[in-house]
Amino acid sequence: MTTAQQGLDVINERFGVHPRHRALHAKGVHCKAEFRANERGAELSRAAHMSGEAIPTFVRLSNGGGDPTVPDYEPDVRGLAVSFQLPDGARTDILCQTLERFPFKDQEGFFDSVRASDRSLAGLARIPGLLLRSPKAIRALPGSLKTMGRAPRADFVVDAALVSRVHCRFTLDHANALELEDLGSTNGTFLNGKKVSRATLSDGDQLTIGRVQFVVNSDANDPGGNPKTTWSV
């Protein structure tokens, strides 16, 4: 079980510590507005902010990551926080984000995704393990974390010799098994020493892209019931 401080340490290790900013959703803009529900809103709810009266409102739009300097065009979760300042001095808060669902079984999967979101070789090495442990993440994470290659447009950039611009892709089959697909790379994608165009990844496989090699090791005896999968270069 990850404690709150351990979770904060994971986030700070990934994004750095930025004084006077939140650990996540660090970059945002605050807006002041007035909310007035229409007649239909009052019919549907007795909540004070749905009465039809003018309600002072504070709104924050944010990028989900922990780096306040990241450009807005970078793929990311987007957040919306709304605080209705009610006439009696109380407030009603609504928080929402663009992630359609939480694709992990527990908080450990989320922290794995934070570690793997680093577009370095260290982060890259964690992606296949993350997807093996939390296969639904590939459909839900921002930017569709699927492709690897040398080009900046690849979801994970591998700036190494013999790696094609967009070298390979990870996808899921109907049984949620993680598949590897070569995308017409010049020097090929190799699984356990054999050149493949498509293959299903499993425990113990060795994947080679250019001169970068990944080895998957899975411990199925995790007391929590979830396999712990670690990839190393």
Residues known to be catalytic: 25
Residue from 84, 94, 89 nearest 55 by CA: 84
194-196 and 178-182: which strand pairing? unpaired
156-157 and 147-149: which strand pairing? parallel
Residue from 134, 156, 138 nearest 228 by CA: 134
Residue from 151, 152, 149 nearest 170 by CA: 149
Torsion from C-alpha of 12, 13, 17, 23, nearest 10 degrees? -20
Distance between CA atoms of residues 160 and 164, nearest Å: 9
Distance between CA atoms of residues 20 and 76, nearest Å: 21
